[in-house]
Amino acid sequence: MARKNTGSRRTRKPRALGLAGLILTAGVAVAWAGWYLPALRPVDPTATAPMLVQLRSGASARDFCRLLASKNLVRNEKAALIYAYLGGQRQRLKAGYYDLSASMSVPEIFTTVVEGRIATRKVVVVPGLRLEQVAERVERSGLAPATEFLRAARASAFLSETGLDIPATASLEGYLWPATYTIPVGTPAHGIALVMLEAFRDKFAERRAAEIAASGMTLHKIVTLASLVEREAKVDDERPVIAGVLLNRLRIGWKLQCDATVQYALGRHKSRLTYQDLKVASPYNTYLHAGLPPGPICMPGEASLLATLRPAKHNFLFYVARGNGRHVFTRTYAEHLAAIAAIRGGRRG
């Protein structure tokens, strides 16, 4: 009797099972790719405005993905978490503030956070700003409230950190270097002020240390006088001349009678001061008090600081604005009155 051929059947069954397994695996892979990969795409590729997101210290990848989902920055919270696990990102997240957008994919978001691309904001400090105005710019940038910055800007809080010769009772008025600063979001108000103060130290106090010592003036006196020059001068070539006028007045004991100090005492700018304004009770009013005011009245720029260190040598004791940004400089009060009359006559004409 012939034997039955059972081997072929045994071979077909495993092959059939293997084929079914491949089909099932392929189906799962297709289904997986059809759900997972699209879930990693940006929520809104056309979005332009970034959203500030804080990843707190100690937060897990699950916490982060939940946060992203709550802000509609990812399509699917679970898909984002799977990506964090598969890509080895979950242990490498760095705490901080980040500018994230719905136009970013999940890989782009995680790359930003893993690489620690902390969000920053710009603060522009220009010569002539008062401390309150700098504080307002810090607040507008979104870094810190103005009131918090002003509370932090006490000179006594920085003396041990910078080594600058500033009176402990003073504020940082005059000592924040005019520049454009890029500050990481989350930097405390003290840290923001310190960055600006260190720039003043590096760019002026240390760089010009020899000239400062040779001037015979303290750093505080130089910065105070330079702040007056900053507010009084409009063009750079007149800054040394105005510094010379103020120094001439100081040498002979005259009151400086500087309008800018009255503006500071009033706490606001006025295009035209009245005789009543000149009587404002303040130690900063140089129409009432001889010598320099107690401290700077604004942030002087480098040009005004150098003009104070290198004043023009002359005999002028007066100056009056022409109305075009320049001044007429005179030696006597009679010449000063004549210059005023000529300027007013020219305006009427």
Q: pLDDT tens digits, residue range 24-70?
A: 454 455 556 678 899 999 999 999 889 999 999 999 999 999 999 99
Residue at which a domain ends, from 189, 205, 221:
205
CA dihedral 246, 250, 251, 253 (to 10 degrees): 140
342 occurs within a structural domain: no
Residues 219 and 294 both lie in one domain: yes
What's the token pair of residue 318? 């007066």
What value does the mean pLDDT of the chain take? 90
The verdict on residue 143 lying in a domain is: yes
CA-CA distances (angstroms) from residue 331 to 229, 337, 338, 339, 343? 18, 11, 11, 11, 17
**For residue 247, what pLDDT is reported?**
97
Same domain, 282 and 223: yes
201 and 172, same domain (yes or no): yes
Q: What is the pLDDT of residues 121-137, one digit of tens each?
A: 999 999 999 999 999 99
| Domain closes at, from 159, 187, 205 | 205
Q: For residues 138 and 146, is the Cβ–Cβ distance under 8 A?
A: yes
Task: Give the tens place of pLDDT for each residue, 212-234.
Answer: 999 999 999 999 999 999 999 99
In a domain, 34, yes or no: no
> Does residue 224 sit within a domain?
yes
On whether both 63 and 128 belong to a single domain, the answer is no
**Mean pLDDT throughout 237-263?**
96
- The answer as to whether 21 is a domain residue is no
Domain with residue 106: its CATH number is 3.30.1490.480
Exposure string over 256-272, b if 16+ CB within 10 A, otherwise e? bebbbbbbbbeeeeeee
Residue 151 shares a structural domain with residue 103: no
* Number of domains the chain contains: 3
* Within-domain flag for 337: no
pLDDT class of 345 with cuts at 50, 70, 90: confident
Same domain, 219 and 310: yes
Q: Is residue 241 part of a domain?
A: yes
Task: Select from 93, 114, 135 the last residue of a domain.
Answer: 114
Asked whether residue 5 carries a pLDDT value surpassing 80, the answer given is no
Q: Are residues 219 and 297 in the same domain?
A: yes
183 and 225 assigned to the same domain: no
154 with 69, same domain: the answer is: no
Domain limits at 231? 213-314
Residues 156 and 105 in one domain: no
CA distance 44 to 109: 13
Distances (CA, A) of 72 to 51, 128, 133: 10, 43, 36
One domain, residues 105 and 126 = no
- Note whether 84 and 130 are same-domain residues: no
pLDDT score at 8 = 52
In the chain, the percentage of residues whose pLDDT exceeds 90 is 76
Residue 325 pLDDT > 60, yes or no? Answer: yes
The reply to whether 25 falls in a domain is no
